[in-house]
Chains A and B, each alone.
Chain A
Amino acid sequence: MVKDKAIATRALTKQFDRHIAVNDVDLQIASGEVYGLIGPNGAGKTTLIRMLAAAEEPTTGEIYLHGERLHLEDSTSTLKRRLGYLPDDFPLYNDLTVWDYLDYFARLYQLRSPQRRRRLQEVLELVQLANKRNSEISTLSRGMKQRLSLARTIIHQPILLLLDEPVSGLDPISRMQFREIIKTLQEAGMTILISSHILSDIGELCTSVGIMELGYLVESASLQELYQRFGRQQIILSTLGAREVLQGELQNHSLVEDWEVMPDEGQIRVSFAGDANDRAELLRSLVTAGIPLTQFHCTTEDLETIFLTLGHQQAS
């Protein structure tokens, strides 16, 4: 079970004095997945990622990367080469140029010339810093520095990428650029674990999500499964009239759980428990009842609402 996973942990716990930052976490991430780790501040995301990156020693528990046990002190160089870790702060060497900085890390990861040169060029193009190769790092903007840090993280072509809040503090354009880079890396087959407070990014990028609260991994599932299990459907309706008839129809329908009339827009939001066929059936029945519908579309509760609901359930 553990061997076929890119990342697997068993009862992983980290305690600081009396505070348990990560508590008994069993995490499993399959190869090629983009796994989003979400949770409020202090939920234990950063500590968990640091332990996975071998930057923090667990109090107890085990970590396996592609089936190989990870130890802080004697991680094999093969294991280290598999990992790329981008922490939430990104210290750089301001006295080096962009090229020299990446060249240094490429050498640390034992990339030999001429392959190293090619890889540097490739990575600089990927992070859109090719035109800055000879610039001193101190002259770069925050977004560029963040992209340079990502370039440093992937220079050795790791198969596991751990990104801790990679887009925090970035402007919308830089965030978009960053998302595009992650998508490219995903297409290249990397397994990516990404923690973020920006849930729309997670929703867009990730295939699976884990929710952390008070050190616990309270939920871990594919995004699809999460929406299915926890994301209630809502149908938005608008009519030109016949409100009473509409309300009567909704009341009689077995799959309608609840509805709410939006005061400003005149729309009705219906919580609906059925699938696509059931929705079609509902639409047919409303049209047959002669309701002059002007709008009928379906939405699902977003990740933010699911996260808030699940997180609060566990915390309470």
Chain B
Amino acid sequence: MVQTLLNRLGEVNPQLFREFKGRLKPRNLAIAAVSSVLAQVLLYLFFQTRLSAHDGIARYCQGAYSCNSNWQLWWLDLFVALSLMGMFALLVVGTYLLIRDIVREERRGTLGFIRLSPQSAVSILIGKMLGVPALLYVMGAIALPLHLGAGLAAQIPLSLIFSFYAVLAASCAFSYSAALLFGLVSARLGEFQAWLGSSAVLFYLCLMTGASLTNHSVFWSSADWLTLFYPGKVLPYLVGETSHSLGSIGYFNVKDLAQLHWYRLPLWNSAETGMGFLLLNYGLWSYWIWQGLKRRFSNPRIIILSKQQSYGLSGSFALVNLGFVFQPSEFLGDIPEQALFMNFATLLGFELLLFLGLIAALSPHRQTLQDWARYRHRATKENRSLLKELIGGDKSPSTVAIALNLAITSLALLPAILFLPLGEYRIPVLFGVVLNASLILIYAMLTQSLLLMKMPKRETWAAGVVSALVLLPLVSSAIFIETPGLRLFSAGAIFATSQVPVTTVFFSILGQWLAIALLGLQMKRQLQKAGESTTKALLSGKRLAQS
């Protein structure tokens, strides 16, 4: 029967069939089953010992005169522990397995054959996502009865438990998609990428779990956007449905979560809207990752996102993130203007991270740029102007597209800057946005220039130079704290805008624009040279053939 089922599955998704064939072997299945059962037994025994332990008595005892075990709380703790274990295992190990698998396939050359088949990228990659962590799913499925049983014994409504599963599934879909993209993009760097990717996920989960367990998971700023990728974000709703007060539970407080607002809307007041927003957030970012996945799977040499897609991505980023700048006044502290200013500063920090990603995703490499410089005239003959090429072409330099993306995010922020009660901070925020955009544009132009140079390991050089440009001014401005002018040339420029005279800010903006103009001229020269040298090489080749 299993064979027939597998066969039918193989008709629908051959990649899933291949992954199952390679992984679901009796020995592997037995190991997975035993590991899962063993982990559950150990966890169960651990909680059993806590019933009799001294601190356990304090936690699970109820009744004034004799200690009657509070089984509901005990089951709740077990449920939460199992949820966290499952979350960590699925996200960290799953991410590791997927990156390692895709990197291996790419390096071995087998992925090339799959690309040549008529299967779509979506079908292959979904097969990978469902098939590569198959043994993890088996382990999870074996733990499901205990998890469900613990949840029901803790009096958590079944609908909420299934909602948690839905959020966890969405989180896996998002993380696995990101893992596949990371693997495809960095396959040349080897299997170290698998460790790097899964360590990043582990770090994030540890950070978020720590914050949630101590009920400090809301920051009333753009940083809240980051917490939306944590599937444990919904656990407070489940815990909150049980009949315990925060005193006896001590973690995942639903009241903490309810303080989260988006465009001042208390979406996390109810489980439906809170979970719904989380699912939408996962969906939105998974959608953008899949745009890159589809492109990179079909052609490993193409830029990760098309320029048009990048405009949509930065627009969505600005729209979603800006929502967390708007917070109800009761959460903005004694000086709301300053709190709002800090929210914008955080948002600009995330914007910088987004643009570093966009620079990497949109900047074509030397060969592509050389080809573009050489053959662009053919495109223009087909009525495609240079400007259209720079705005939408896959092979043209990224600079204009990055500038457009910066314009989109900055324009999205503008109404908020003008209408929010920023008081004396309005001008510093405006300057901060301009300085941040100029700096990002300088990073983009430098990256593109470095990628166009003829030297080994261009990507490493570009990454190193941009990292140094981001970090060194930040470090030096932290050391020379008395000279805030230094900070104007760092990623934290917004903080300096309120500390130095307007003329200084003005001149630093002019200085950055001058640097942009010079870098633009330099790139133009580089591209002209690349185009010319190619022509010469081709002509000399022709002469060779004719002689």
State the A residues within 8 Å of B (CB): 13, 15-18, 20, 23-24, 53-55, 57, 59-60, 72-74, 77-78, 80-81, 83, 85, 87, 89, 91-93, 95-96, 100, 103-105, 107-110, 112-113, 152, 214-216, 218, 314
Chain B residues near A15 (CB, 8 Å)?
A: 367, 370-371, 534, 537-538
Query: CB of B542 within 8 A of chain A?
Result: yes
Instruction: Mark B87-122 against chain A: 1 for CB-CB distance below 8 A, else 0.
Output: 000000000000000000000111011111111000
Chain B residues near A73 (CB, 8 Å)?
A: 295, 298-299, 302
> Is the pair B21, A96 in contact by a Cβ cutoff of 8 Å?
yes
User: Nearest CB to that of B301 among chain A residues?
Assistant: A57
Report the separation of the CA atoms of residues A87 and B534 in the bound assembly, to the nearest whole angstrom.
Answer: 29
Instruction: Count how many chain B residues have C-beta atoms less than 8 Å from C-beta atoms of the other chain.
Output: 41
Chain A residues near B375 (CB, 8 Å)?
A: 59-60
Q: Could you pull out 19 A-B pairs where Cβ atoms are within 8 angstroms? A: A15-B367, A15-B538, A17-B454, A18-B533, A20-B538, A23-B545, A53-B116, A55-B115, A59-B374, A85-B116, A87-B112, A93-B110, A100-B21, A103-B10, A104-B21, A108-B114, A108-B119, A109-B118, A218-B545
> Is the pair B538, A80 in contact by a Cβ cutoff of 8 Å?
no
> Is the pair A152, B22 in contact by a Cβ cutoff of 8 Å?
no
Chain A residues near B116 (CB, 8 Å)?
A: 53-55, 80, 83, 85
> Is the pair A107, B538 in contact by a Cβ cutoff of 8 Å?
no
Q: Pick the contact of A92: B110, B119, B302 (CB < 8 A).
A: B110
Chain B residues near A92 (CB, 8 Å)?
A: 110
Q: Pick the contact of A17: B110, B299, B366 (CB < 8 A).
A: B366
User: Nearest CB to that of B294 among chain A residues?
Assistant: A73
> Is the pair B109, A91 in contact by a Cβ cutoff of 8 Å?
yes
> Is the pair A152, B541 in contact by a Cβ cutoff of 8 Å?
no
Report the separation of the CA atoms of residues A110 and B114 in the bound assembly, to the nearest whole angstrom.
Answer: 13
Q: Pick the contact of B545: A53, A85, A152, A216 (CB < 8 A).
A: A216
Chain A residues near B17 (CB, 8 Å)?
A: 104, 107
- Please count the residue pairs between chain A and chain B whose beta carbons lie under 8 angstroms apart in the complex: 99
Chain B residues near A108 (CB, 8 Å)?
A: 14-15, 114, 117-119
Query: Beyond A91-B110, A104-B17: 12 further Cβ-contacts under 8 Å?
Result: A15-B537, A17-B366, A24-B545, A60-B371, A60-B375, A73-B299, A80-B116, A83-B116, A91-B113, A104-B21, A113-B7, A216-B545
Chain B residues near A17 (CB, 8 Å)?
A: 366-367, 370, 454
> Is the pair A80, B117 in contact by a Cβ cutoff of 8 Å?
yes
Instruction: Mark B1-20 against chain A: 1 for CB-CB distance below 8 A, else 0.
Output: 00000010011001101100
> Is the pair A109, B110 in contact by a Cβ cutoff of 8 Å?
no
State the B residues within 8 Å of A (CB): 7, 10-11, 14-15, 17-18, 21-22, 108-110, 112-119, 295, 298-299, 301-302, 366-367, 370-371, 374-375, 378, 454, 533-534, 537-538, 541-542, 544-545
Q: Pick the contact of B541: A20, A93, A95, A107 (CB < 8 A).
A: A20
Interface residues of chain B: helix, strand, loop or mixed (majority) = helix
Chain A residues near B109 (CB, 8 Å)?
A: 87, 89, 91
Chain B residues near A57 (CB, 8 Å)?
A: 299, 301
Q: A55-B112, A80-B118, A215-B541 are in contact. Are A107 and B14 (CB under 8 A)?
A: yes
- Tell which of A13, A81, A104 has the most Cβ of chain B within 10 Å: A104
User: Nearest CB to that of A78 among chain B residues?
Assistant: B118
Q: A15-B534, A112-B11 are in contact. Are A105 and B22 (CB under 8 A)?
A: no
Chain B residues near A152 (CB, 8 Å)?
A: 113
Report the separation of the CA atoms of residues A91 and B107 in the bound assembly, to the nearest whole angstrom.
Answer: 10
Report the separation of the CA atoms of residues A73 and B302 in the bound assembly, to the nearest whole angstrom.
Answer: 9
* Minimum Cβ distance to chain B for residue A12 (Å): 13
> Is the pair B117, A24 in contact by a Cβ cutoff of 8 Å?
no
- Tell which of B22, B117, B301 has the most Cβ of chain A within 10 Å: B117
> Is the pair B533, A113 in contact by a Cβ cutoff of 8 Å?
no
User: Nearest CB to that of B537 among chain A residues?
Assistant: A18
Report the separation of the CA atoms of residues A314 and B541 in the bound assembly, to the nearest whole angstrom.
Answer: 12
Report the separation of the CA atoms of residues A138 and B261 in the bound assembly, to the nearest whole angstrom.
Answer: 57
Chain A residues near B7 (CB, 8 Å)?
A: 113
> Is the pair B371, A105 in contact by a Cβ cutoff of 8 Å?
no
Report the separation of the CA atoms of residues A17 and B538 in the bound assembly, to the nearest whole angstrom.
Answer: 11
Q: Pick the contact of A104: B14, B295, B541 (CB < 8 A).
A: B14
> Is the pair A72, B299 in contact by a Cβ cutoff of 8 Å?
yes
Report the separation of the CA atoms of residues A16 and B109 in the bound assembly, to the nearest whole angstrom.
Answer: 20
Chain B residues near A96 (CB, 8 Å)?
A: 18, 21-22
- Tell which of B10, B17, B299, B541 has the most Cβ of chain A within 10 Å: B541
Chain B residues near A54 (CB, 8 Å)?
A: 116
User: Nearest CB to that of A83 among chain B residues?
Assistant: B116
> Is the pair B366, A59 in contact by a Cβ cutoff of 8 Å?
no
Q: Pick the contact of A91: B108, B367, B374 (CB < 8 A).
A: B108
Report the separation of the CA atoms of residues A88 and B537 in the bound assembly, to the nearest whole angstrom.
Answer: 29
> Is the pair B371, A59 in contact by a Cβ cutoff of 8 Å?
yes
* Minimum Cβ distance to chain B for residue A248 (Å): 42
> Is the pair B11, A107 in contact by a Cβ cutoff of 8 Å?
yes
- Tell which of B113, B375, B537, B545 has the most Cβ of chain A within 10 Å: B113
User: Nearest CB to that of B118 among chain A residues?
Assistant: A77
Report the separation of the CA atoms of residues A55 and B300 in the bound assembly, to the nearest whole angstrom.
Answer: 10
Report the separation of the CA atoms of residues A16 and B299 in the bound assembly, to the nearest whole angstrom.
Answer: 17
> Is the pair A81, B11 in contact by a Cβ cutoff of 8 Å?
no
Chain A residues near B113 (CB, 8 Å)?
A: 91, 105, 152
Chain B residues near A53 (CB, 8 Å)?
A: 116
> Is the pair B22, A93 in contact by a Cβ cutoff of 8 Å?
yes
> Is the pair B114, A214 in contact by a Cβ cutoff of 8 Å?
no
Closest 6 pairs (CB-CB, A-B): A77-B118, A107-B14, A108-B117, A91-B109, A80-B118, A104-B18
> Is the pair B299, A95 in contact by a Cβ cutoff of 8 Å?
no
* Minimum Cβ distance to chain A for residue B478 (Å): 42
Chain A residues near B18 (CB, 8 Å)?
A: 93, 96, 100, 104
Chain B residues near A100 (CB, 8 Å)?
A: 18, 21
User: Nearest CB to that of B25 among chain A residues?
Assistant: A95
* Minimum Cβ distance to chain A for residue B261 (Å): 43
Chain A residues near B298 (CB, 8 Å)?
A: 72-74
Chain A residues near B115 (CB, 8 Å)?
A: 55
User: Nearest CB to that of A216 among chain B residues?
Assistant: B545
Chain A residues near B542 (CB, 8 Å)?
A: 24
Report the separation of the CA atoms of residues A16 and B302 in the bound assembly, to the nearest whole angstrom.
Answer: 15
Report the separation of the CA atoms of residues A83 and B117 in the bound assembly, to the nearest whole angstrom.
Answer: 9
- Tell which of B110, B374, B538 has the most Cβ of chain A within 10 Å: B538
> Is the pair A16, B367 in contact by a Cβ cutoff of 8 Å?
yes
> Is the pair B301, A95 in contact by a Cβ cutoff of 8 Å?
no
Chain A residues near B11 (CB, 8 Å)?
A: 107, 112-113
* Minimum Cβ distance to chain A for residue B377 (Å): 11
User: Nearest CB to that of A149 among chain B residues?
Assistant: B113
Report the separation of the CA atoms of residues A170 and B401 in the bound assembly, to the nearest whole angstrom.
Answer: 52
> Is the pair B302, A81 in contact by a Cβ cutoff of 8 Å?
no
Chain B residues near A60 (CB, 8 Å)?
A: 371, 375, 378
> Is the pair B541, A23 in contact by a Cβ cutoff of 8 Å?
yes
> Is the pair A95, B545 in contact by a Cβ cutoff of 8 Å?
no
Chain A residues near B295 (CB, 8 Å)?
A: 73
Chain A residues near B15 (CB, 8 Å)?
A: 108
Report the separation of the CA atoms of residues A66 and B545 in the bound assembly, to the nearest whole angstrom.
Answer: 29
